[in-house]
Each structure stands twice: as C-alpha cells, then as structure tokens.
Amino acid sequence: MAKCNFCGNKNFVSKKVEYIYKHNGHFMLFEEVPCDECAYCRERYFEANILKKIEYDFFEVLNEKKQPSRKIEMPVEVFAA
C-alpha cells in the first residue's frame, strides 16, 4: 500500500482487529481479522480475500450451515440527545 486514501500518510501497521459485518439487520462479530491500519488516522484496509471470507462465513452461519465459534448477547439502546 503506497499511502492512506483518507489522510495520505505512508505509514501502516499490520494488526488483527474486530470487524462487525451487518446485512439486513443481522450482525456478526469477527475477531482477529488481519488488516493494515494507517499509523496516523487509523483508517483500516482489508484485503479482498479477507472480506470475501467474512461474507461467506456470515452467510454460512445465517443459513445454519455452520456454527459460530461462540455467541454473545448485546444490549440495544436508541440514542436520545
């Protein structure tokens, strides 16, 4: 990667992060997802094959063809100013 598309910085850090995939009101949290992160603005860049795998796994779990590693419960609150 030559430079950050957001801020123009040329320094990146390879790391593993959490990624939330959302589709039609369904959510799935992925842990330990590899990415390159801009060292200045923290914009994250994912390789296409990583995002395709996330999408594939999401639909496998959604269609009950695969079990997720684990499930969590998340409270929901509507923001009120």
Every domain of the chain and the residues it spans: 12-62
- Average the pLDDT over 43-72 and give the result: 97
Q: Which residues does residue 38 pair with via DSSP β-bridges, in sequence order?
A: 12
Q: Which residues does residue 81 pair with via DSSP β-bridges, in sequence order?
A: none
Instruction: Give the global pTM.
Output: 0.87
DSSP assigned state of 65: S
- Average the pLDDT over 54-70 and give the result: 97
Distances (CA, A) of 35 to 3, 14, 31, 42: 15, 6, 12, 11
CA 63 to chain centre: 20
Question: Which tokens sit at 48?
Answer: 């296409």
- How much is the pLDDT for 35? 97
